[in-house]
């Protein structure tokens, strides 16, 4: 059976593009962190829109490369699955920023620092696990990083439950409850997207190791 390394050795374009997409996922969380730290008047979606557009262009280039590159030994669905999983991360992060900008007054007293730190850890791990495809295809290393993504997602789920318990305590008005729950749900999706990307990489490496 042909190895993944042999396949990607035919052209570096897939490595380059997948890593670039993972990098944009990380950049989107950096942009979100910056946005939240700013005053409501200074907040802008420009950096997040730019990151998402860059990632869309990267995904389109991957599709084009798949059409132009003759590959018979690795299922193109694997590359497409990873590209799609990566693209969904900055797209979801941008939605979080949109919600923050449209109703800034609803965020008074809300601390997102734990969520932001976990999203930063998750996207950094996604970038590392994608880079591992190029480096050495170490299955044990891939498993370790994927386990870290699973752990982050689990901790995020616990945090969400705590936040929901507070949200439903009765101290918030109905609009704030709806608004904040929407934000928490979107943040949870970011972890899910990161986990999905890790699972795709693990699947690819396991299949071709």
114: Cα within 13 Å, side-chain hemisphere: 14
What are the tens digits of pLDDT across the range 46-101?
Answer: 998 888 889 999 999 888 888 876 554 457 788 899 999 999 999 999 999 999 99
In a domain, 2, yes or no: no
How far apart (Å, rounded) are the C-alpha atoms in residues 133 and 76?
15
Residue 95 lies in a domain: yes
**Residue 135 pLDDT class (50, 70, 90 cuts):** confident
CATH code where residue 87 lies: 1.20.58.220
Report yes or no on 5 lying in a domain. Answer: no
Q: In this structure, is residue 196 part of a structural domain?
A: yes
Domain limits for position 169? 10-208
pTM for the full model? 0.86
Averaged pLDDT score across all residues of the chain:
86
Q: Is residue 190 part of a domain?
A: yes
Could you report the per-residue pLDDT of 26-43, keeping only the tens digit for each? 999 999 999 999 888 888
Task: Provide the number of structural domains found in the chain.
Answer: 1
DSSP secondary structure code for residue 69 in this structure: S
Are 5 and 137 spatial neighbours (Cβ–Cβ below 8 Å)?
yes
pLDDT of 8 over the 70 cut: no
Tens of pLDDT, residue by residue over 141-159, are: 888 999 999 999 999 999 9
């Amino acid at each position: 059976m042909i190895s993944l390394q042999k396949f990607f050795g035919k052209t570096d374009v897939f490595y380059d593009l997948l890593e670039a997409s993972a990098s944009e996922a990380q950049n989107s969380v950096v942009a979100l962190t910056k946005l939240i730290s700013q005053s409501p008047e200074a907040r802008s979606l420009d950096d997040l829109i730019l990151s998402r557009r860059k990632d869309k262009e990267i995904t389109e280039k991957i599709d084009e490369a798949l059409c132009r590159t003759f590959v018979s030994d690795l299922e193109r669905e694997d590359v497409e699955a990873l590209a799609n999983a990566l693209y969904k991360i900055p797209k979801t992060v941008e939605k979080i920023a949109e919600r923050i900008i449209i109703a800034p007054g609803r965020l008074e007293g809300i601390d997102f620092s734990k969520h932001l730190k976990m999203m930063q850890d998750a996207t950094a791990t996604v970038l590392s696990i994608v880079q591992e495809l190029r480096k050495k295809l170490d299955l044990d290393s891939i498993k370790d990083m994927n386990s870290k993504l699973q752990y982050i997602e689990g901790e995020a789920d616990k945090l969400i439950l705590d936040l929901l318990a507070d949200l439903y305590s009765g101290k918030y008005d109905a609009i704030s409850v709806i608004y904040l729950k929407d934000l928490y749900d979107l943040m949870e999706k970011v972890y899910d997207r990161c986990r999905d990307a890790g699972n795709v990489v693990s699947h690819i490496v396991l299949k071709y190791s």
